[in-house]
Structure 1
Amino acid sequence: MPTNVVHTTSDSPRLLLIDSYDSFTFNLASLCRRAIPGCIVHIIKNDEIPFPELVSLLDQFSAVVIGPGPGSPDEDKDVGVVKKIWKLADEHLLPVFGVCLGLQSLCIEHGATLKRLQVVKHGQISRIHHDRHDIFNDVDQVEAVRYHSLHVSLSGDEPLEALAWADDGEENGRVLMAVKHNDKPFWAVQYHPESVRTHGGGEEVLRNFWRLARKWSKRNRRNVHPWTHEAATCIGPPWPLIHSASNTQTPLPMDNHVSTRILEGPEWSIPAICELLGVDKESSDFVLLDSAAQPGRFSIIGCLRPTTPKITYKVGDGQVRIQDGHDHFRLEDVGADIWSWLAGFMQSRKARGGSEEIPFWGGFVGLLSYELGVNSLSATLSPRGASRRSVHSDVNLVFVERSILVDSKTGRLYIQSLLSHDDAWLSDMVSQFETMRNMMGSINSSEMEFESKGTVPTTPPNVALPDKATYISRIKDAQEFLFSGDSYELCLTAPTHISVPVPPRDLRGSSSWGLYKSVRTRNPAPHSAYLRLHPSTLISSSPERFLSFSRSPSVCQLRPIKGTVRKGPGVNRAVAEQALVGSVKEVAENLMIVDLIRHDLHGVVGDDVEVKQFCGVEEYETVWQLVSVIEGKLPHGTELDGNLDLGWEVLRRSLPPGSMTGAPKKRSVEILHSLEGQDRGIYSGVFGYWCVGGGGDWSVTIRSCFKHDDQGDTVQDEWTDWTLGAGGAITALSDPEAEWEEMVVKVESVLRAFHSSMEE
C-alpha cells in the first residue's frame, strides 16, 4: 500500500490546525511544516467535530493552531469550537497558536474589546513593532501582511500581555498585532504570518512558538499520547494527501497514437484558416483557441466531425449527455462527480507520439461555468428562481480528434489526427494548406482575412446596461461585508444585455464569426476564443490565463492579473509601473489573489509551491498588466491520493477563479450570490483545453460575450441576444462611482466591436 509522504518518527510532533473556512489555510499548514521540521499536520473545520469528542482526542496532539477566517469572533457560527479551546480545563490544556481571527477570539474570550478599524487593512503591509522577546525572540524587523477590518483593544485588566503592535498613525492609531496569555500556553498574532509578502514574522515566530510550547509541555510534564485508530477515524489523515508512487501499479495501455503533418509557412492567417474550414456555417459547432496577441503563441482550431463526441452537463443533474452525431446522444450516470467522470472519459483516450514542442495534440476543448466551480466549494446558497438561473450548460466540451495548430513564433502549421495513422483527412489538409501557402506567397496575409461582407445589417444593437443605482447600492452593501470582516475583497459583477439584428436570409453568413473578427481586430488578446458549441456561443478576448499544466512531470502554473493601465501617448513602462506597482490598492488586490492561489495549489500538491513573479508589469497589445506567476508541482516520486490527474485536480480545486470572487473564497461566493441575484453562467468561468498528452491550458472568461440559441442564426428571429459580463474588485478603499465607471469601460471595450462589425 502507498504510504503518506511525511518523513516522521514516533516522536514527530503532531499539530491540529483548526480551519474557519479560510482561503489561506494550506499556506499556514505549509508554514508550520517549514518552521517545525518533521511535524504532522491534521486539518479540521471549526464545526466538523463536536467539542466533547474533540477534547477527548487533544492529548494525542503536541499543539493546536487556530487559523484565520471570515466573520467575527463573537459570532458562534464563525468560530465554532475555537472559542471553547481558550477555556480548556487544566487536564486538557496544550499549547495553542492563533492567527487573525484566532487572536481576536483569544482576546475577547478573556475580556478584551472588539472594535472596527477606521481604515480597513486588507492585503496591506505594515511594520510590526515588538520588543524582541517571547515569540519575537531574536527576530529583527518584521514587515507583515494584514487582512482584517476588526481588531481588539486591551484595557490592562485581562490576563493577556501585548507582544507587538502596528502604528497606523491617524488612520487607526496603535493596533495590537500579537499577544500571549499570562498563565496558559496561548499565543496569537493579528497579521498573517503565512502570506508570501510577510518577512521576518512568519517562520521565525512559528519556530519561537514551538520552542516555547515544548518548554511549557516539559515543565508541566505533558506527554503526547500515541496516535489511535479512533483519532485517525475522527480526525482523518494528515495533510497533504500525497503518497509514494506505487511500483506495483500496472500502467494503463496507451494504444492511442497522434498522427501529425507539419508545414512550414509564412505568417499563417488564423481567420483565413477558419474560413477555409467552414466557420461561416453558423449551424455547425466550431472551436478556436486563438493567440491573437503577444505573449500568446499557439492557436488551436478543432476540425469537428458530425460524430465528434460532445459532452454537456448542468450542476445538479445526475447524468451527463454525450452526443456523437446530429441526432444521436446517450445519457450516463455521473457517479461520484462530474470531474471524476470526465477524468475517466479522458483516461482511456490518452495518447502518445505527438510533436513534443507543441502543447496540444487533441482532447477536450470547451467551457466550464462559474457555477461549476461554486458547486465544488459546497457553498451555502439560497435557491434561484428559474428566470435567474443560467440557461447554459455548466460543462460544454468537445473531444477534438482532428486539429490544426499554428505556432506564431516558428511559422509552422501542425495538422493532427487521433483517428488513424493513415487518416486520409491529413493528406487532404496538407494539399489545401499548400495551396493556401502558395496564394499567401503573392498576397499579403492580411488580405487573406476574408471579410464576411453583408453578414450583418446596419441597424445598431440595442444595449441594456445594468441599472446604475442598483449596482452602486450593491457596491455599498459589499463594502459593509468588508468592514464587518466577512471578506477581504469582493468581485462584484453585473450583466449587460445586447440585442443584435439578424441579417436577411439572402445575406446571411455567420454574424457571430463576423463579430469575433471585429473583437479580434479591435482588442487582440493572448487568450482569445471563438467557441460555437450549440446552443452556446462564446466570443472572448481574455487577457488572463488562469491555469496551465504541462505534460509529465506535471507543473501547474497560474497567472492572476489584477491591475491594468491602458496604453496611450506618454504611457511607457516607467509610467505604467508607477501607476501599478506604486499603487497600494492595486498591489493589495493582486497580493490577496496570490495568497489565495497559493492556498489552492498547496491544497493539492503539498509544500512545493513557489511564487515565480510577484506583481510584475507585463506589456500586452493594448495594455500594461500587473501579473503574478505561481507554480506548484508534486514532489518527485509521489502521486495524489487515488492516482488523480494533477492538472485536472488543481483545476477542480481552484475554481471559480479567485480573481473573480475575492477572499476568503467560500464566504465571498456566498455573499456575491446574494448580492448579484442571478447566475453568472459562462462569464467568469474558464475556457480552454485538456490534451490527450496530459497538458492543459485554461483562461478566465472575461472581456467576453456569449449567447444561447438552439439553432444558431438559422431561425427566423429578427434579433440575437448576447450577454456581456463585467465587474470589478470591490475593496474597502473603492469609490462606488469610480467602480461603476470602471465596469462601464470594461463593457465598452467589447461593445465597440458590435458597432464596428456593423460598419464593415
Structure 2
Amino acid sequence: MAVDETPRLLLIDSYDSFTFNLAALCHRAIPGCLIHIIKNDLFEFKRLLPLLKFFSAVVVGPGPGSPEVAEDIGVVKHLWNADSENLIPIFGVCLGLQSLGIAFGGRLLRLNVVKHGQISTVHHSGTDLFWGIGTVQAVRYHSLHIQLDESLGCELEKLAWTSDLADNGEVIMGLKHKTRPFWAVQYHPESVCTNGGSDCVLRNFWILAQSWSAKHNRKVLPWNANALASLPPPWPASISASALPVSGPETDCLSTILASVHHLPHFQLPLACELLGAADEHSPFVFLDSAAEPGRFSIIGCINPMSVGITYYMGCPYVFVSSEGQKRQERLPSDIWAWLSDFMCSRKARGNADIPFWGGLVGYMSYEVGVDGLDIPLLPSMGHERYPDINLAFVERTVVFDHETGDVHIQSLRLDDSVWVSETGRLLLKACHSPASTTSLNGTSGTRHKAKPVLSLPQKDRYIAQIEKAKEFLLSGDSYELCLTARARITFPFQPPTEKSSSWTRYKHLRSVNPAPHAAYIRLHPTTFMSSSPERFISYSRPPNTLCQLRPIKGTVRKTAQITREIAEEMLIGSAKEVAENLMIVDLIRHDLHRVVGVDVKVTQFCGVEEYHTVYQLVSSIEGRPKDSSIQSSKTNLGWETLRTSLPPGSMTGAPKKRSVEILQSLEDDDRGIYSGIFGYWCVGGGGDWSVTIRSCFKHEDPCKTDIKSDEVWVLGAGGAITALSDPEAEWDEMNTKLQSVLKAFDV
C-alpha cells in the first residue's frame, strides 16, 4: 500500500454497544483513516470477500454471545480462513479474539469468575501489539476465554495475559497468529477506563499491518462505484436524512416570542400551577418540576383548547393530532420521528437565550418506543392497543421559574397574546402576596381515600428467580449487565372524586416527601403521570454547536441517620460492583453519542457521588458535540437524532443493549409502558431536555369502559442492574427501596 493513500478500515459490528467507541479509538490512533462499519450478518462471505480488496485492514469488534454460535459471530468466522490472495490484516477485540482462538487451535472455556466492567493489570511480552508499552490497566467484559492447546496444532502465540489468581488463574489477553496478519486482544481497549493499552495498541497494529502489506505486496484497490454502492458511508457521517426536518424557515425568519420577567424569589410553584389549571382533573396540564438540586428551571405549560395534542401508538401507520375538540389522523411519511421533526421545523421561534424552554413539545415516550428502534419485535400487549406510546402537547404559553435567580418568565409563542402575558403576570404577582395554606402547597393532608387501596407488589420468589436467570445469561456471555424491573399496582376502589383524592394532590405530596431534580406532573388524556426522577437522560443545547449531555445513574445508597456522605462515598466508590455497573453504562452511552456526533465525546464526570433527598447516587456525565458544524444547519437537529438513536435509556437496559433488551423481554412479566421511557421537552429553539422515567407512576383512563365508576389503578415500576456480582437478596431490597420512594405519595 502506498504511504500517501488514505487508510480505510472495515469495522465489523457483532451487535455490540461499544462499537462506536472502538471506531473513535481507531480514528484517534490512525489519523485520517476512513472507517466503514457493517453488521456481522450484513453480507455472506462470498459477497464480502471481493470488497476486502478496498480496505487496508479489518477490525473485528466485540459482541454478546459465543464465537461458536453462528448467529453470534456471523461472517467473522470465515475471515480467518481466506486464501493467501485475499488475506488482509485483522485486529480483533474480545469476541474477535475468541473467534481467532477457536479458528487456530485454541479451546473456548468459561471463566470461573466472570469479568464484566472489571479492571485488571495486563502483563505482556512487550512485542507486536505491545511494543513500547508499559503498564496496562484494562477493562474486561467477558465470561469466556481462550486457552491455547498445542496438541490441537495451535498456530497462535500469546502476547498478553492477566493473573486472576484464585479466580481464574492466568487468562490470555492478547494473541497473534504465527504466520498470518492477525492480532487480537481480549480486553476492551476502547473503554473509558482502559489505561495504557488503547491508542498505542491500535497504532502498533497499524504499523504491523502496513509492514505486512508492504512485505507481501498487498495493494488496496481505489474506491470505486462498486464499493460505494455495496458499503455504508464512512463514519462519522452526516445525520440520516430520514430523521431530520425537511422544511421550515431559516434562522433569519424566526419569530420572536412575547415575554415578561418578574422577580419573585418566594414564588410558590404548586400554588401557581393551581392558578393555571392544575387542580382541574378534566383538563390537560404539564409541569416539569425542578423540585430539588441540581435542577434549576421549572416549567408550567399552559394548555388551552387550541393547543395541539399528539398521540402515537407503536406499530400504527398514523399519528393522531387533536386541537379545539377535534381529532384527526395523519399518515406517517416514514416514521414518527420524521413526522415530529417536520412538525417542529415549521414552528421555530426565538426568545431569551438564558431560558432553556420558550415553548414546544412536552410529554412522554414509552420504553417500547426505544425497543422498536432496536428492530426488536414488541410483545403482544393490550396496552399498546389502548394507550399512547408517545403523548405530547405543543405548548405555546409557558411560565418558567428560575430557582437560581428567583425570576419568573411568562412567555407566549402567539404574537397576539400580550393580554395573556400581562394578565398572567398580574395573577402571579397577586398570588405571591397572598398567604397559601400548607395543604395547598404540599398536599400532605389530601391523599387519603375512604376505601382502603389494594397494593399489589412484585412477588419476591418470582423476582429472585428472574435474577438467577439473568445471571445465567451473564455467565454465558450474552450480556454484561441486565437492568431487571418489576411493576407494582395500587388500586383505589371507586369513590366520587374529591380534591383530597385528586392526582394533583397526590403529586404535591410526592414532591414534598421525595423532591427530585427531574420531577413532573403530566396530565394528557388518557394518561396521568407523576415523577420524582433523579436522572436526566439527555439534554441538548440549541443549534448551532449543539452540545449533548447524558447523566446516567448507577449505584444507590439509602440515606439514614447512620449513613453520612463520607460513608456513602466509601460504599459506592469503594464497591467494585457499583463502579462496574456505572462504567458499563458510561461506555454504552459513549457509543450512543459517538454514533451521531462523531469523535468528540468526553466523560466530564465519572462515578461522582451526588446527594439527593432520600439517597446518595453514583452519577456520571458524558458530553459530545460534532466538530463538523456543517451537519448542524438550520434544518437539522442533532439533539433529536441523538435522542432517537439512544433509546431506550442504557441505564434501564444494560449492555450490550439490543441483546439485553431481548433477554429482558423473556424475563419480565409484562411490557414496561411509560416506566423506563422518557419525559421532557423539545423547545422551538431546537434545544431539549429529557429525563428517565424512574421513581414514577402513572394511571390510564380506559376508553373502552363507559362506566364512570371504574377503579383507579396506578402503576409503579422499579428495578436494578443485575451483574455477575449481584446478590439476589440485596437486589430485591434495592428494588423495594425504590418502590417505597413513590409509594409514600399514596400513604400505603
How high is the TM-score relative to the length of structure 2?
0.95
| Secondary structure, aligned partner of 2:6 | coil
Aligned residue number for residue 551 of structure 2? 559
- Amino acid in structure 2 at the alignment position of 1:218: A
Aligned residue number for residue 169 of structure 1? 165
In the alignment, is the contact (CA less than 8 A) between 2:442 and 2:511 conserved in 1? no
Aligned residue number for residue 460 of structure 2? 468
In the alignment, is the contact (CA less than 8 A) between 2:397 and 2:412 conserved in 1? yes
**2: distance between equivalents of 1:207 and 1:184?**
18
**2: distance between equivalents of 1:640 and 1:415?**
29
1:697-755 CA-partner distances (Å, limit 9, x unpaired):
00000001100014799963252001001111111111222212221221122112201
Aligned residue number for residue 355 of structure 1? 352
Aligned residue number for residue 721 of structure 1? 713
1:448-467 CA-partner distances (Å, limit 9, x unpaired):
62748667424332111122
The structural deviation recorded for 1:660 is 0.2
Which of 227, 232, 236 is 2:232 aligned to? 236
- Amino acid in structure 2 at the alignment position of 1:349: R
1:39-67 CA-partner distances (Å, limit 9, x unpaired):
11000000101111110111111100000
| Secondary structure, aligned partner of 2:433 | helix
| Secondary structure, aligned partner of 2:422 | helix
- Amino acid in structure 2 at the alignment position of 1:696: G
Which of 519, 537, 540 is 1:549 aligned to? 540
**2: distance between equivalents of 1:128 and 1:740?**
35
1:404-463 CA-partner distances (Å, limit 9, x unpaired):
111111111111100115432112111111211222xxx478576274866742433211
Aligned residue number for residue 244 of structure 2? none
**2: distance between equivalents of 1:49 and 1:581?**
44
- Amino acid in structure 2 at the alignment position of 1:155: D
Describe how 1:601-680 pairs up with structure 2 within 5 A.
Answer: 601-639=593-631, 644-680=636-672
Which of 45, 51, 56 is 2:45 aligned to? 51
The structural deviation recorded for 1:385 is 3.5
- Amino acid in structure 2 at the alignment position of 1:605: V
The structural deviation recorded for 1:518 is 1.2
- Amino acid in structure 1 at the alignment position of 2:210: R
Farther off after superposition, 94-103 or 509-518? 509-518
**1: distance between equivalents of 2:174 and 2:648?**
34
Q: Within the alignment, does 1:184 sit opposite 2:168 as a pair?
A: no
- Amino acid in structure 2 at the alignment position of 1:129: H
**2: distance between equivalents of 1:165 and 1:270?**
59
| Secondary structure, aligned partner of 1:230 | helix
| Secondary structure, aligned partner of 2:631 | strand
Q: 1:85 to 1:640 in 2, by over 3 A?
A: farther
Describe how 1:217-256 pairs up with structure 2 within 5 A.
Answer: 217-242=213-238, 251=250, 254-256=253-255
Q: 1:451 to 1:221 in 2, by over 3 A?
A: closer
Aligned residue number for residue 373 of structure 2? 376
| Secondary structure, aligned partner of 2:235 | coil
Q: 1:550 to 1:255 in 2, by over 3 A?
A: closer
Aligned residue number for residue 575 of structure 2? 583
1:280-339 CA-partner distances (Å, limit 9, x unpaired):
11111110000011111111000000121000001110000000122x011111111111
**2: distance between equivalents of 1:181 and 1:78?**
23
- Amino acid in structure 2 at the alignment position of 1:181: H
The structural deviation recorded for 1:576 is 1.4
1:620-654 CA-partner distances (Å, limit 9, x unpaired):
22222111110000115320699531010000010
Aligned residue number for residue 528 of structure 2? 537
**1: distance between equivalents of 2:169 and 2:12?**
31
Which of 504, 520, 524 is 2:515 aligned to? 524
Aligned residue number for residue 3 of structure 1? none
Farther off after superposition, 455-464 or 109-118? 455-464
Q: Within the alignment, does 1:15 sit opposite 2:6 as a pair?
A: no
In the alignment, is the contact (CA less than 8 A) between 2:249 and 2:348 conserved in 1? no
Aligned residue number for residue 420 of structure 2? 425
CA RMSD of aligned residues (A): 2.3
- Amino acid in structure 1 at the alignment position of 2:365: L
Farther off after superposition, 31-40 or 265-274? 265-274
Aligned residue number for residue 271 of structure 2? 272
Aligned residue number for residue 4 of structure 1? none
Q: 1:253 to 1:597 in 2, by over 3 A?
A: same
Aligned residue number for residue 115 of structure 2? 121
In the alignment, is the contact (CA less than 8 A) between 1:40 and 1:238 conserved in 2? yes
**1: distance between equivalents of 2:416 and 2:368?**
40
1:97-154 CA-partner distances (Å, limit 9, x unpaired):
0000000000001121111111110001000001211110000000000000011111
**Percentage of matched positions with identical amino acids:** 57
In the alignment, is the contact (CA less than 8 A) between 1:368 and 1:686 conserved in 2? yes
The structural deviation recorded for 1:209 is 0.6
- Amino acid in structure 2 at the alignment position of 1:482: L
Q: 1:265 to 1:389 in 2, by over 3 A?
A: closer
**1: distance between equivalents of 2:236 and 2:548?**
17
Aligned residue number for residue 301 of structure 1? 300
| Secondary structure, aligned partner of 2:42 | coil
**2: distance between equivalents of 1:587 and 1:447?**
42
The structural deviation recorded for 1:357 is 1.3
- Amino acid in structure 1 at the alignment position of 2:584: M
Aligned residue number for residue 414 of structure 1? 409
Aligned residue number for residue 281 of structure 1? 280
Aligned residue number for residue 342 of structure 2? 344
Q: 1:454 to 1:369 in 2, by over 3 A?
A: closer
**1: distance between equivalents of 2:354 and 2:231?**
45
How high is the TM-score relative to the length of structure 1?
0.94
Q: 1:717 to 1:260 in 2, by over 3 A?
A: same
In the alignment, is the contact (CA less than 8 A) between 2:480 and 2:655 conserved in 1? yes
**Structure 1: gaps (5+ residues):** 1-7
**1: distance between equivalents of 2:381 and 2:198?**
48
**Structure 2: gaps (5+ residues):** 242-247
Aligned residue number for residue 28 of structure 2? 34
In the alignment, is the contact (CA less than 8 A) between 2:239 and 2:596 conserved in 1? no
Aligned residue number for residue 433 of structure 2? 438
In the alignment, is the contact (CA less than 8 A) between 1:312 and 1:393 conserved in 2? yes
In the alignment, is the contact (CA less than 8 A) between 2:596 and 2:641 conserved in 1? yes
- Amino acid in structure 2 at the alignment position of 1:657: P
Q: Within the alignment, does 1:197 sit opposite 2:188 as a pair?
A: no
Q: 1:338 to 1:114 in 2, by over 3 A?
A: same
In the alignment, is the contact (CA less than 8 A) between 2:239 and 2:638 conserved in 1? no
**2: distance between equivalents of 1:691 and 1:252?**
15
1:48-103 CA-partner distances (Å, limit 9, x unpaired):
01111110111111100000000100001100110000101000001000000000
In the alignment, is the contact (CA less than 8 A) between 1:390 and 1:681 conserved in 2? no
The structural deviation recorded for 1:397 is 0.3
The structural deviation recorded for 1:167 is 0.7
1:154-174 CA-partner distances (Å, limit 9, x unpaired):
123401000000111101110
1:348-389 CA-partner distances (Å, limit 9, x unpaired):
10101x12211110000000110001111112x3x6334475
In the alignment, is the contact (CA less than 8 A) between 2:367 and 2:677 conserved in 1? yes
| Secondary structure, aligned partner of 1:734 | coil
Describe how 1:34-113 pairs up with structure 2 within 5 A.
Answer: 34-113=28-107
- Amino acid in structure 1 at the alignment position of 2:573: V
| Secondary structure, aligned partner of 1:223 | coil
| Secondary structure, aligned partner of 1:56 | helix
Q: Within the alignment, does 1:401 sit opposite 2:400 as a pair?
A: no
Farther off after superposition, 260-269 or 137-146? 260-269
Q: 1:387 to 1:715 in 2, by over 3 A?
A: closer
